[in-house]
């Protein structure tokens, strides 16, 4: 094969299958905060003014994001979910915010959020009504897209409730065009495949051309069983969904629930590590005004965020499982690899795992540099293919490492890695 042909093969192996939505956004997985999991549809501002869905909530969250290092860590979008609008459109047929809970209106809120150097996200629905029963956008795509653009909104989460499933794709595509026609770059977060899976296998080429990220599976809850179900679904469908991800468009396994009530610290580490491996949007749903220091430190961990935001933009895969361990691996820029080892046994104590058993370890070649990021940061120095490094993983916890080959025969190894590890359909049995 000529050098040029060889280069083409390498490039095509490394790029996602389809073109991404061409709006210049989400070149890396989106980072920010989204109200839904933590604050749901709490509209009772009389008895619960601190936690109800109101302009105050987003303003306070934005204040904290700037003051407490969130913005600096990369969290940028402050996103409104369901239950923000009034039940009636205005005289011109436009959506309007609930006047009691958003007295300044969304444009003012956007101005405030922008004055903090952050971006504002909003929520609407492709069908007749939102999932919580507020006005849907069906029949109003252009009007609503223009309204959001006029308000200087930066992101739209577009839900799929109350929609004829046969028209779902058309609806998502039309809203994408309507947003594009406003001329304002508005990041487009879809739930198209989630609502399509019960009917048929979604067309991920079309989805990637239409949306900047897309939900595939159920809503995340504040529990380990919910996180596990999302990971299981993702691994079971990885051959279909992983190739669709890349700069401009990402699979969205839903919000980070770190810092809430339902996950142990080990489980929070697992969510953070695996969401980084999956190149997922990092949209936290928690109360940043009141979050424990360990959760904050985890969410702001620069080394994990660097994996999430890696410039190559390749989503990772589950590459091995067995003995109640799972190995997930993500190829990173500069020839590196991230390896996550999840201990799925929810009984007993920490268990040792020989990192040399991870399929991607072959990237190490004759020598590599190894860094452990979770559960503790540790430089493990120069290792070889033959090294026996045992990492200790707590029940439902995850060890996260990066491997950097120091090898002159890297090209051969890298190719081997891509074709041998990531394109293979079967898991290695540990
Ligand atoms: C669900 C959606 C959630 C949240 C909720 C609001 O369908 O998946 O993320 O947006 O609707 O009602």
pLDDT digits (tens, 9 = 90+) for 143-159: 999 999 999 999 999 99
Cβ(329)–Cβ(338) under 8 Å? Answer: yes
Whether residue 269 has its Cβ less than 6 Å from ligand 1: no
Q: How far is the CA of 93 from the centre of ligand 1 (A)?
A: 24
pLDDT digits (tens, 9 = 90+) for 303-329: 999 999 999 999 999 999 999 999 999
- State the closest ligand 1 atom to the C-alpha of 255, by its place in the atom list counted from 1: 9
Query: Terminal CA-to-CA distance of the chain, rounded, Å?
Result: 36
- Percent of the chain whose predicted confidence (pLDDT) is above 70: 92
Q: For the chain, which residues make up each domain, given as ranges? A: 31-309, 317-405
Cβ(136)–Cβ(161) under 8 Å? Answer: yes
Q: What is the pLDDT of residue 410?
A: 53
Q: Which residues contact 196 (CB under 8 A, 6 or more apart)?
A: 165, 168, 169, 202
Whether residue 37 has its Cβ less than 6 Å from ligand 1: no
CATH superfamily placement of domain 31-309: Aldolase class I (3.20.20.70)
List, in sequence order, every beta strand (DSSP E) within 59-127: 77-79, 119-125
Q: Hey, is 403 helix, strand or coil?
A: strand
pLDDT digits (tens, 9 = 90+) for 56-72: 999 999 999 999 999 99
- State the closest ligand 1 atom to the C-alpha of 161, by its place in the atom list counted from 1: 7
Indicate which residues carry an active-site annotation: 159, 219
As a whole number, mean pLDDT of residues 410-425 equals 48
Quickly name the fold that domain 317-405 has: Immunoglobulin-like (2.60.40)
**Residue to mutate, 219, 220, 252, 256, ligand 1, most ligand atoms under 8 Å from C-beta:** 219
pLDDT digits (tens, 9 = 90+) for 252-297: 999 999 999 999 999 999 999 999 999 999 999 999 999 999 999 9
Q: What is the pLDDT of residue 303?
A: 98
Q: What is the pLDDT of residue 64?
A: 98
Confidence of residue 430 (pLDDT cuts 50, 70, 90): confident
Nearest CA to ligand 1 atom 6: 82
Q: What is the pLDDT of residue 411?
A: 52
Task: Look at residue 424 and tell me whether its pLDDT is greater than 90.
Answer: no
Domains 31-309 and 317-405 share a fold: no
Q: What is the pLDDT of residue 163?
A: 98
Q: What is the pLDDT of residue 416?
A: 47
As a whole number, mean pLDDT of residues 131-138 equals 98
pLDDT digits (tens, 9 = 90+) for 351-399: 999 999 999 999 998 999 999 999 999 999 999 999 999 999 999 999 9
pLDDT digits (tens, 9 = 90+) for 335-346: 999 999 999 999
DSSP state of 386: T
Give the predicted TM-score (pTM) of the model: 0.94
Q: Give the integer Cα–Cα distance in Å for 151 and 17.
A: 35
- State the closest ligand 1 atom to the C-alpha of 219, by its place in the atom list counted from 1: 8
């Amino acid at each position: 094969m000529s050098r040029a042909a060889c280069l083409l093969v390498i490039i095509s192996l490394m790029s996602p299958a389809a073109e991404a939505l061409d709006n210049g956004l989400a070149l890396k997985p989106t980072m920010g905060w989204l109200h839904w999991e933590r604050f749901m549809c709490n509209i009772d501002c009389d008895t619960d003014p601190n936690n109800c869905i109101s302009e105050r909530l987003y303003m306070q969250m934005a204040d904290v994001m700037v003051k407490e290092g969130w913005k600096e860590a990369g969290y940028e979008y402050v996103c409104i979910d369901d239950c923000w609008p009034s039940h009636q459109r205005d005289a011109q047929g436009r959506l309007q915010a609930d006047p009691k809970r958003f007295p300044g209106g969304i444009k003012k809120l956007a101005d405030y959020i922008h004055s903090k150097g952050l971006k504002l996200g909003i929520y609407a629905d492709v069908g007749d009504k939102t999932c919580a029963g507020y006005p849907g956008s069906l029949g109003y795509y252009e009007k609503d897209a223009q309204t959001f653009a006029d308000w200087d909104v930066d992101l739209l989460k577009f839900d799929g409730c109350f929609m004829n499933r046969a028209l779902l794709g058309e609806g998502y595509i039309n809203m994408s065009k309507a947003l594009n026609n406003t001329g304002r770059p508005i990041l487009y977060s879809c739930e198209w495949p989630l609502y399509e899976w019960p009917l048929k296998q979604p067309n991920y080429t079309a989805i990637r051309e239409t949306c900047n990220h897309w939900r595939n599976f159920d809503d995340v809850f504040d529990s380990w069983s919910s996180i596990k179900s999302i990971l299981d679904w993702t691994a079971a469908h990885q051959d279909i969904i992983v190739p669709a991800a890349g700069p401009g468009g990402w699979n969205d396994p839903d919000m980070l629930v770190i810092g809430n009530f339902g996950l142990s610290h080990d489980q929070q580490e697992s969510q953070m590590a695996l969401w980084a491996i999956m190149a997922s949007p990092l949209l936290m749903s928690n109360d940043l005004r009141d979050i424990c220091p360990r959760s904050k430190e985890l969410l702001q961990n620069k080394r994990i965020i660097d994996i999430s935001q890696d410039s190559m933009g390749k989503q990772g895969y589950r590459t091995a499982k067995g003995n109640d361990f799972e190995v997930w691996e993500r190829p990173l820029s500069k020839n590196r690899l991230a390896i996550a080892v999840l201990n799925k046994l929810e009984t007993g104590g920490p268990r040792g795992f020989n990192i040399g058993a991870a399929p991607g370890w072959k990237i190490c070649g004759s020598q590599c540099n190894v860094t452990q990021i979770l559960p503790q940061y540790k430089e493990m120095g120069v290792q070889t293919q033959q090294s026996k490094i045992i990492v200790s993983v707590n029940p439902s916890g995850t060890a996260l490492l990066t491997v950097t080959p120091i090898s002159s025969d890297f090209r051969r190894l890298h190719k081997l890695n891509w074709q041998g590890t990531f394109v293979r359909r079967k898991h290695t049995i540990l």
